[in-house]
Amino acid sequence: MVVLHFTAMADVQAALDRLCDPEAAVSAHYLIAKTGDLIALVPEDRRAWHAGAGAWGRHGDINSRSIGIELDNTGTEPFSEPLMGRLEHLLAGILARWAIPPARVIGHSDMAPGRKADPGRRFDWRRLARQGLSVWPNPAAPGDLRADLETFGYRVPLDLPDAEALTLDAFRQRFRPWATGPADDTDRALAAGLARAWPCMAG
């Protein structure tokens, strides 16, 4: 898999300092600056400590099976064009080298609902999908929202309060970033589209 993050820090140097600080015990394979500069931190065939607790599909140890990319962004601002261009070039190479399907390019928030919110509501997932670097659903007949989200890869954290609401929010962060309120048929139609087009992709 590939997991996308935002740094949520003041600038790329602050993020780099933290990612290289042994006391912080966090890392990523790559860091991309707003300027488009690419900083390679951990070889792709080595484990990096970027994902933490969470799950996607049947997998709970995401660090052992993913490449982590940190994006220089506070989480409240648009992602710069140089950054997005560099990310697209980087992702194309990673997916080719490791035979990773686009459905396995996910956000930190996808695998850790309620705990993480990156890469955030300002990230342009549809742009990646248009280039085959991620996925975007075509609506299908609305079905069972929870079952369809689980088929796609979301794991409802049943031990958490408001588990289904947290998973709905994670899904909306990516596919309906400005939606609010209870789940509706638009949510169910998009989730059904994901489940039908990319079932068990995280299995």
Among 68, 63, 69, residue whose Cα is nearest residue 33 = 69
What confidence tens digit (pLDDT) does each residue in 33-51 have?
A: 999 999 999 999 999 999 9
Rounded mean pLDDT of 70-87? 97
- Residue 203: inside a domain: no
User: Coil, strand or helix: which one is 90?
Assistant: helix
Q: Domain range for residue 180?
A: 145-197
Instruction: Assign 203 a pLDDT band (cuts: 50, 70, 90).
Output: very low
Across the chain, mean pLDDT equals 94
User: Coil, strand or helix: which one is 9?
Assistant: coil
Q: Higher model confidence: residue 7 or residue 200?
A: 7
Please tell me the predicted confidence (pLDDT) of residue 114.
86
Please tell me the predicted confidence (pLDDT) of residue 200.
64
Instruction: Assign 202 a pLDDT band (cuts: 50, 70, 90).
Output: very low
- Domain endpoint, select from 75, 100, 130: 130
Domain count, the chain: 2
Please tell me the predicted confidence (pLDDT) of residue 148.
96
Instruction: With a cut of 70, say whether residue 68 has pLDDT above it.
Output: yes
Same domain, 65 and 109: yes
Tokens of 163: 């588990």
Instruction: With a cut of 90, say whether residue 60 has pLDDT above it.
Output: no
Q: Measured on CA atoms in the order 154, 157, 163, 166, is the torsion positive or negative?
A: negative
- Domain endpoint, select from 130, 154, 176: 130
Same domain, 163 and 125: no
- pTM for this predicted structure: 0.95
- Residue 104: inside a domain: yes
Q: Measured on CA atoms in the order 165, 169, 171, 172, is the torsion positive or negative?
A: positive
- What is the percent of the chain where pLDDT is above 70? 96
Please tell me the predicted confidence (pLDDT) of residue 156.
75
Active centre residues (catalytic): 70
Please tell me the predicted confidence (pLDDT) of residue 122.
96
Instruction: Assign 178 a pLDDT band (cuts: 50, 70, 90).
Output: very high
User: What's the CA gap between 13 and 47, in Å, rounded?
Assistant: 22
Same domain, 121 and 152: no
What confidence tens digit (pLDDT) does each residue in 80-119 have?
A: 999 999 999 999 999 999 999 999 999 999 999 988 999 9
